[in-house]
């Protein structure tokens, strides 16, 4: 999240201020119009903004969007609404529901159920579990026939954090919950557990 150097931010600010002053457009900055050339939106049947300017314009728009997104992520992280680890964002709606409903909520929101693929991700999920002091279902299930636990996309687990003597359900506990100490337990899928999604 803390991706931009102060130099980049200064350069960005200078560009934004310039564009803003030139165009008096709030929000997404635009390149000033070039005399004798159509604007970025172009005019049907006429020549378009030359490629170099067009690409600079696109880069500026992208930089501005990234900056705005990074600020929003800062706000959400500050308020404890999201945990970011690498490319993943973890978040909870605070609701306790069965496995199928939890997965459904996550997918409806454009994500999936949180499934840790390493210790760092497990810790991020654990911090949400501790925040609500509730066990949560993970995006991990025992295969229909394989009797092996796997990610819900069917891929094999590359990291586990089973509690001592778990998994012990021998096919009767097809879902996985994470305890408030971060360890995992295979568990029936019809319990009410905290929903934690990853995006």
Interacting residue ranges for ligand MMA, rule: CB under 6 A: 166, 168-169, 173, 185-187
186 binds Ca ion (CB under 5 A): yes
Distance in Å, CB of 172 to ligand MMA, minimum: 9
Place of tokens 């728009």: 61
Residues 102, 109: contact at Cβ < 8 Å? no
Distance in Å, CB of 83 to ligand MMA, minimum: 26
Q: Which does 142 bind (CB under 5 to 8 A by kind): Ca ion, ligand MMA, none?
A: none
Q: What number of chain residues touch Ca ion (CB under 5 A)?
A: 5
Tokens for 76?
């959400």
Distance in Å, CB of 59 to ligand MMA, minimum: 53
Tokens for 16?
């934004």
The number of C-alpha atoms within 13 Å of 142 and in the hemisphere containing its C-beta is: 19
Site for Ca ion in 134-173 (CB under 5 A): 168-169, 173
The residue among 49 and 140 lying less far from Ca ion, judged by its C-beta, is 140
Distance in Å, CB of 123 to Ca ion, minimum: 22
Distance in Å, CB of 137 to ligand MMA, minimum: 13
- Among 52, 73, 60, 56, which residue's Cα sits nearest to residue 28? 60
The residue among 142 and 198 lying less far from ligand MMA, judged by its C-beta, is 142
Query: Which residues contact Ca ion by CB under 5 A?
Result: 168-169, 173, 185-186
């Amino acid at each position: 999240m803390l991706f931009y150097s102060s130099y980049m931010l200064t350069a960005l600010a200078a560009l934004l201020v310039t564009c803003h002053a030139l165009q008096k457009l709030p929000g997404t900055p635009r390149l000033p119009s070039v005399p004798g050339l159509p604007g970025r939106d172009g005019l049907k049947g006429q020549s378009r903004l030359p490629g170099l300017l067009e690409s600079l314009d696109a880069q500026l728009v992208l930089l501005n969007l990234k900056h705005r997104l990074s600020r929003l992520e800062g706000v959400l992280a500050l308020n404890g609404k999201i945990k970011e680890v690498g490319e993943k964002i973890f978040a909870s709606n605070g609701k306790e529901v069965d496995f199928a409903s939890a997965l459904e909520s996550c997918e409806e929101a454009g994500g999936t159920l949180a499934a840790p693929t390493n210790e760092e991700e497990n810790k991020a999920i654990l911090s949400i579990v501790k925040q609500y002091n509730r066990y949560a279902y993970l995006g991990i299930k025992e295969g229909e026939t394989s009797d092996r636990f796997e990610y819900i996309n069917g891929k094999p687990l590359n990291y586990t954090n089973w509690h001592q003597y778990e998994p012990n359900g021998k096919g009767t506990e097809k879902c996985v919950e994470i305890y408030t100490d971060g360890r995992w337990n295979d568990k029936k899928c019809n319990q009410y557990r905290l929903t934690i999604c990853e995006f």
